Amino acid sequence: MNARQLAFLALKQIDRQSAYTDVVLDRTLRQQKSLKPEDRGLFTELVYGIVRRQRSLDALIDQLGKKKARQQPPDLRLILQIGLYQLRYLDHIPPSAAVNTTVELAKTNSFKHLSGVVNGILRQYERLAQEGDPLKLPRDPIPRLGLLHSFPDWIIQLWWEEWGEEETEKLCIWFNKTPYLDLRINPLQTTREAVQEALNAQSLNVYALSGLPQGLRVEGKTGPIALLPGYGEGWWTVQDGSAQLVAHLLDPQPGEVVIDACAAPGGKTTHIAELMGDRGEIWACDRALKRLNHITGNQQRLKLHNIQTCGGDSRQFEQFIGKGDRVLLDAPCSGLGTLHRHPDIRWRQTPEKLAELVQLQRELLNHTATWVKPGGCLVYSTCTLNPQENEALVQDFLATHPQWHLQPPPPNFPVQNPAGWVKILPTKQDMDGFFMAKLVLEQ
Ligand SMILES: C[S@@+](CC[C@H](N)C(=O)[O-])C[C@H]1O[C@@H](n2cnc3c(N)ncnc32)[C@H](O)[C@@H]1O
């Protein structure tokens, strides 16, 4: 099967069955083992890109077609999106190839009678593109940015209020790029230089992430992650640079008791274990039991031994009260700092869901704070760019818990903020958007 037909089938599952983009993508690539590397690349680009750019692509269909995108037969709308995406966003595909393959796609998927319509819309796009941008934008600046960069208006509004127009547009552009692949090397098994060398030997361009002693960034197409050198040997874990900062802020020490309240699939738990030199007691809790099992697998692969798992709702666990030297609450959040990795989040999240998340985060923070020993600490972190889930929540906690205070990161920490918490803005630090705050309980 060719890449475009596969993309069409994958997009159908995402559209109709509300399946997660990364899940459908991984499953398809696993099933299509004989797909050539360049077809894997095109397939991945089409699926991720079209999910991301849905709003702009539909606006083009609305403007160029006789029928609006929502009134088109759903499969035809996807086919038009596949064609328009290639014309608008892919430089390496000649326009004639984009048009012809899309017309073919229509014919082989029961739209022979409408192949002329497909051809007409795509050629009209091409004609208009000679004179300027065929996408007509509204005057109102919020929907203008939303339509141009394909984000819902409420996300634009949220960022605009905090950072203004220019930064919001930069964020939109950043989140529409293909994400980097960052690795965290396991210092108990290897060195950063050894991993760098092994990956260089596969013709991959790899460089060290500054300020992150275990961090590497890999450029270019890697193919399946598990086939990269050192994966099976437990030399490294895939983890974005900003996520690596969380365990450094927690700063766990060998021999301590550390409790990770929302741990699955264990990216940060295993980092904590590495920083503790695999000495001490780590409890990894999560209510997603299947995901919690991944921690056990990861622990084995990384040759770590001191992590124990505990399945269930962390708001209910009484057994940890007063036990933790350090607690990590890497809270469930709206994920607005990872929109480039999870292109469907922008369409799945709503302001109402965000409000529900804040309530859950508050309950988790209030309860897991009771797990901390006097003199101990708790790191609260999220991968979102939404003040209600971040600084507002922490400020609220501090206002109602006078025996706690905010501890700023040490001077050598790579990201600083005068307020005392850590906020990673992708456009400044070139990493996923993140928030983290270290809270300390009085002796
Ligand atoms: C941001 S993810 C954690 C990622 C993880 N710390 C890592 O680095 O790999 C948030 C996790 O919170 C879990 N979660 C949500 N509500 C929970 C609750 N009430 N109790 C325990 N875990 C919960 C979710 O299942 C999810 O795995």
Any catalytic annotation for residue 383?
yes
Annotated binding residues for S-adenosyl-L-methionine? 262-268, 286, 313, 330
Cα 198 to middle of ligand 1, angstroms: 33
Q: Using an 8 Å Cβ cutoff, are 25 and 36 in contact? A: no
Instruction: State if residue 247 touches ligand 1 by the CB under 6 angstroms criterion.
Output: no
CA of 377 to the centre of ligand 1 (A): 19
The reply to whether ligand 1 has any atom less than 6 angstroms from the CB of 267 is yes
Annotated binding-site members = 262-268, 286, 313, 330
Q: How far apart are CA 268 and CA 40, in angstroms?
A: 30
Ligand 1 atom 6, closest CA: 263
Measured in angstroms, how far is the CA atom of residue 266 from the centroid of ligand 1? 9
Measured distance CA(259)–CA(281) in Å, rounded: 8
Which of 245, 287, 353, 366 most suits a substitution to test ligand 1, by most atoms within 8 Å of the C-beta? 287
- The 10 Å Cβ neighbour count of residue 61 is 21
Q: So what's the pLDDT on residue 18?
A: 85
240 lines ligand 1 (CB under 6 A): no
pLDDT of residue 115: 96
Distance CA 354, CA 313 (A): 19
Let me know if 375 is exposed, middle or buried by CB neighbors in 10 A (0-12, 13-18, 19+). exposed
Ligand 1: centre distance to CA 88 (Å): 38
- Topology of the domain covering 241-441: Rossmann fold (3.40.50)
Q: Whose CA is closest to atom 1 on ligand 1?
A: 332
Q: Taking the domains of the chain in order of start, what are their residue ranges?
A: 3-134, 143-176, 181-238, 241-441
- pLDDT, residue 25, reads 93
Does the bond joining 254 to the residue before it have cis omega, within 30 degrees of 0? no
ipTM tops 0.95: yes
Q: Assess whether the C-beta atom of 365 lies below 6 angstroms from ligand 1.
A: no
**Nearest-CA residue for atom 13 of ligand 1:** 262
Out of 172, 285, 377, 383, which one is annotated catalytic? 383
- The tens place of each residue's pLDDT in the chain, 443 residues long, gives 899 999 999 999 998 888 899 999 999 999 998 899 899 999 999 999 999 999 999 999 999 999 999 999 999 999 999 999 999 999 999 999 999 999 999 999 999 999 999 999 999 999 999 999 999 999 999 999 999 999 999 999 999 999 999 999 999 999 999 999 999 999 999 999 999 999 999 999 999 999 999 999 999 888 889 999 999 999 999 999 999 999 999 999 999 999 999 999 999 999 999 999 999 999 999 999 999 999 999 999 999 999 999 999 999 999 999 999 999 999 999 999 999 999 999 999 999 999 999 999 999 999 999 999 999 999 999 999 999 999 999 999 999 999 999 999 999 999 999 999 999 999 999 999 999 999 999 99
Beta bridge partners of 284: 260, 309
Closest ligand 1 atom to 265 CA: 9
pLDDT at residue 270, as a whole number: 98
The continuous run of DSSP H or E covering 372 comes out as strand 372-382
**Does the Cβ of 263 fall within 6 Å of ligand 1?**
yes
Which run of H or of E encompasses 307?
A: strand 307-311
CATH architecture of 3-134: Orthogonal Bundle (1.10)
**Which residue owns the Cα nearest ligand 1 atom 18?**
313
Ligand 1 atom nearest the C-alpha of 333 is: 1
Specify the residue for token string 């964020």: 171
Phi and psi at 195, nearest 5°, equal -70, -40
CATH topology of domain 181-238: Alpha-Beta Plaits (3.30.70)
Q: Which residues, 6 or more positions from 140, have their beta carbon under 8 angstroms from its beta carbon?
A: none
Q: Compute, in angstroms, the gap from residue 323 CA to the centroid of ligand 1.
A: 20
Residue whose Cα lies nearest atom 19 of ligand 1: it is: 313
Question: First and final CA of the chain: distance in angstroms?
Answer: 65
What does R_g of the chain's alpha carbons equal in angstroms?
Answer: 24
C-alpha 430 to ligand 1 mean position (Å): 25
- Ligand 1 atom nearest residue 271's Cα: 8
